[in-house]
Chains A and B, each alone.
Chain A
Amino acid sequence: NAGVTQTPKFRILKIGQSMTLQCTQDMNHNYMYWYRQDPGMGLKLIYYSVGAGITDKGEVPNGYNVSRSTTEDFPLRLELAAPSQTSVYFCASSRRLNTEAFFGQGTRLTVV
């Protein structure tokens, strides 16, 4: 049972480059999330989705875009990478908004 799978695990980007962080889940969860975690900080919500075709901004959406074309996949797009986007990114999913979220293994992104 794979749960939530993120790729890649590590990535180094140059300033101004773009990339997509992939996330897929096999639990048939409607709700999916992208969080970022900076050293010594908690998880900050970037975007979330309540189902295919529906996305909404979280606390720190600037510089990111998302799409949700299927229940399983929720990719996160960085268009113009900036050093401030150096962080660990976690994708998560849940059955409902008020139930526990299950996390992927994370993507460690460095922008230089």
Chain B
Amino acid sequence: QKEVEQNSGPLSVPEGAIASLNCTYSDRVSQSFFWYRQYSGKSPELIMSIYSNGDKEDGRFTAQLNKASQYVSLLIRDSQPSDSATYLCAVNEDSGNTPLVFGKGTRLSVIA
């Protein structure tokens, strides 16, 4: 079983700051990468997907992928208390031939 690693947190940031969430993976041939947000007691919802090296921006969210170093990160600009949740990194390993593997998630707390 390949590994997807995340710092469990909690990561605490003040309102308006940038939150930086990191994820490393072990399978060099991974091709698809996803960030999900999960509020307490709710199901995961997709925030971002990224497939190529570099940055991908969507509103206040930026996903960054570095395949050579095998990490993917999520930046949340102008963090809001409503961003407080657990963020799950998911990786599609084995050249896309197996289902997504999820990290354990990082719990983010945005302090007003």
Contacts and interface: CB of A to CB of B under 8 A. Distances in A.
Most B Cβ at <10 Å: residue of A31, A48, A58, A99: A99
A33 B99 contact: yes
A101 B100 contact: yes
A43 interface: yes
10 contacts: A33-B99, A35-B102, A40-B104, A43-B88, A43-B102, A58-B99, A96-B96, A97-B92, A98-B96, A101-B100
Contacts of B96: 96-98
Interface stretch (A12-20, A71-79, A103-111): A103-111
Contacts of B98: 97
A43 B99 CA distance: 12
Given A43-B88, A98-B31, A98-B32, A105 B97 contact: no
Given A41-B104, A42-B105, A59-B1, A100 B46 contact: yes
Interface string B73-106: 0000000000000001010100011111111110
Contacts, number: 52
A45 interface: yes
B97 A97 contact: yes
Contacts of A105: 42-43
B44 interface: yes
Given A42-B102, A43-B88, A100-B34, 20 more contacts: A31-B99, A40-B104, A42-B103, A42-B105, A43-B44, A44-B102, A48-B99, A58-B99, A96-B96, A97-B92, A97-B96, A98-B32, A98-B92, A98-B96, A100-B46, A100-B49, A103-B45, A104-B43, A105-B42, A106-B42
